[in-house]
């Protein structure tokens, strides 16, 4: 019976390449006289052309037969392809890894081998590797690219590495990017530097160095990215000179200035133009750069109903305020009945409440717990209150004890409720609140009252609860 044997495609490609080498061998000349007439430079040119043609035919062969290899075999062969002596084959390998990468099939080893190609001796290979950098995610990539960019000699490769830093950040990339911007202020370095500054802290000295290059470059160029950097780092005088550009007919110029002002927290010109939806977003960003109660008050002046970005800005500013200013901001939000936003802010602040004084913790709890109870988050409320150092004998903490009792009753945490209020009057008051609206809950509370306080109930209380004064059987409660 005929048995199918899977062809060894890599071997076929190798064999075809050897065949091509033989096929490209220069035919033997029949006449020694003719050979003597050929000039040396023509021979060199012909030889070079033959070699280039051969190399291209080898690459064409790879491109033609590689798709015939299974995906599994391709993965097996790629490390050798990426280390091939021919730079064209290494480029081919990088492109194949790019295909796997976009299909979500590239392996960690393959990606690392491509990254290693950034230091390949051939600039064409480095360029091919640099073009897919934004798609690669391996540990330490940004730092590695920053290091190799500092010594890269090919400007095309540098541009691709700078494009990578327009969406990826590392502090080590800042100085090489500054150097590249000085060499070519109209290239990708300016946008890369904007991204890096938005994601890294830099010294005043570095800011002055950047600004000096920017101001010099701006004398010859109106590149929007240069305008952004001036708006970001310039003095108040520099910024004021740019305000009119917020009204420029070219929207890209408006945005370039607004971006810079937002980074610098230079909010007033943006607030003045907040009716413009584009300027509104940058105004919100600028206000978040200045985390104080004044910024929060200004934020309230540009509030829009049902605007999630405004809510995010309010959350960002308020959750970073000191306790005194936080309580002021909470009062402002309370007047606007923004209870959901209030609670999200207070919950976030509470995450770091251990760093605050006991008085500050209690002040925050007095705001957060009633909102939790209103939402039915009674267990969460009890957990928060349990972390406080409450003095059950002090009238100053009586309101907190009342909150414990209310949350405990709602959560059916009867022992906690009894610890907070060991007398029946407040239990009866809770029973009265629900006796008509929720008879089932009222009956549960009544049973607890009978179980815990029967011996000390007054005649009037027993009559109100419709409890017989005779001994009744013990009532089991949930």
Question: What number is the average pLDDT over the span 3-24?
Answer: 47
| pLDDT band per the 50, 70, 90 thresholds, residue 111 | very high
Question: What number is the average pLDDT over the span 85-112?
Answer: 92
| pLDDT band per the 50, 70, 90 thresholds, residue 71 | confident
The whole-number pLDDT of residue 42 equals: 52
Percent of the chain with pLDDT over 70: 84
Say yes or no to pLDDT of 234 above 50.
Answer: yes
Average pLDDT, the chain: 88
Question: What number is the average pLDDT over the span 446-467?
Answer: 91
Between 202 and 20, the more confident residue is 202
The whole-number pLDDT of residue 221 equals: 86
When mean pLDDT is compared across 11-25, 185-199, 375-389, the lowest value belongs to 11-25
CA-CA distance, 2 to 171, in Å (whole number)?
64
Q: What are the tens digits of pLDDT across the range 78-92? A: 899 999 998 998 999
Say yes or no to pLDDT of 50 above 70.
Answer: no
What does the block give as tokens for 332? 């402002």
| pLDDT band per the 50, 70, 90 thresholds, residue 102 | very high
The whole-number pLDDT of residue 477 equals: 47
Q: What are the tens digits of pLDDT across the range 339-382? A: 999 999 999 999 999 899 999 999 999 999 999 999 999 999 99
The whole-number pLDDT of residue 374 equals: 95
Q: What are the tens digits of pLDDT across the range 116-152? A: 999 999 999 999 999 999 999 999 999 999 999 999 9
| pLDDT band per the 50, 70, 90 thresholds, residue 222 | confident
Segments making up each domain of the chain, as ranges: 7-23+49-139, 427-478
Say yes or no to pLDDT of 67 above 60.
Answer: yes
Say yes or no to pLDDT of 474 above 50.
Answer: no
The whole-number pLDDT of residue 20 equals: 45
The whole-number pLDDT of residue 74 equals: 83
């Amino acid at each position: 019976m005929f048995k199918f044997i899977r062809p060894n495609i890599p071997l076929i490609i190798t064999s075809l390449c050897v065949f091509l080498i033989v096929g490209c061998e220069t035919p033997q000349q029949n006449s020694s006289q003719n050979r003597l007439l050929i000039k040396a430079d023509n021979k060199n040119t012909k030889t070079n052309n033959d070699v280039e043609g051969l190399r291209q035919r080898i690459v064409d062969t790879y491109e033609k037969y590689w798709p015939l290899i299974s995906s599994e075999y391709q993965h097996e062969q790629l490390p050798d392809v990426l280390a091939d002596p021919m730079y064209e084959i290494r480029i081919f390998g990088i492109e194949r890894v790019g295909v796997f990468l976009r299909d979500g099939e590239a392996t960690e080893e393959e990606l690392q081998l491509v990254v290693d190609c950034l230091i390949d001796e051939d600039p064409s290979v480095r360029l091919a590797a640099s073009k897919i950098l934004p798609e690669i995610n391996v540990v330490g990539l940004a730092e590695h690219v920053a290091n190799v960019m500092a010594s890269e000699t090919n400007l095309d490769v540098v541009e691709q590495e700078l494009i990578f830093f327009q969406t990826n950040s590392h502090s080590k990339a800042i100085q090489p990017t500054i150097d590249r911007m000085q060499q070519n202020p109209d290239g990708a370095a300016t946008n890369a530097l904007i991204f890096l500054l938005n994601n890294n802290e830099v010294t005043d000295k570095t800011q002055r160095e950047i600004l000096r290059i920017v101001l010099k470059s701006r004398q010859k160029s109106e590149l929007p990215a240069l305008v952004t950097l001036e708006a970001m780092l310039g003095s108040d005088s520099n910024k004021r000179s740019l305000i009119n550009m917020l009204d420029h007919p070219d929207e890209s110029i408006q945005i370039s200035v607004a971006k810079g002002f937002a980074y610098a927290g230079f909010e007033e010109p943006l607030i003045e133009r907040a009716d413009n939806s584009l300027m509104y977003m940058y105004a919100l960003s600028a206000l978040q750069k200045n985390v104080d109660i004044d910024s929060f008050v200004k934020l309230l002046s540009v509030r829009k109903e049902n605007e999630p970005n405004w809510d995010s800005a309010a959350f960002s500013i308020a959750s970073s305020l000191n306790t005194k200013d936080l309580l002021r901001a909470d009062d402002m939000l309370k007047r606007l009945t923004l209870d959901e936003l209030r609670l999200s802010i207070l919950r976030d602040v509470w995450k770091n409440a251990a760093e605050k004084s006991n008085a500050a913790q209690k002040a925050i709890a007095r705001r957060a717990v009633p909102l939790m109870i209103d939402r039915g988050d009674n267990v969460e409320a009890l957990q928060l209150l349990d972390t406080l150092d409450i003095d059950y004998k002090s009238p100053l903490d009586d309101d907190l004890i009342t909150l414990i009792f209310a949350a405990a009753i709602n959560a059916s945490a009867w022992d906690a409720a009894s610890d907070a209020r060991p007398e029946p009057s407040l239990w009866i008051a809770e029973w009265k609140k629900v006796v008509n609206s929720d008879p089932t809950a009222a009956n549960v509370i009544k049973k607890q009252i009978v179980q815990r306080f029967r011996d000390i109930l007054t005649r009037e209380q027993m009559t109100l609860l419709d409890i017989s004064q005779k001994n009744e059987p013990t009532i089991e409660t949930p």
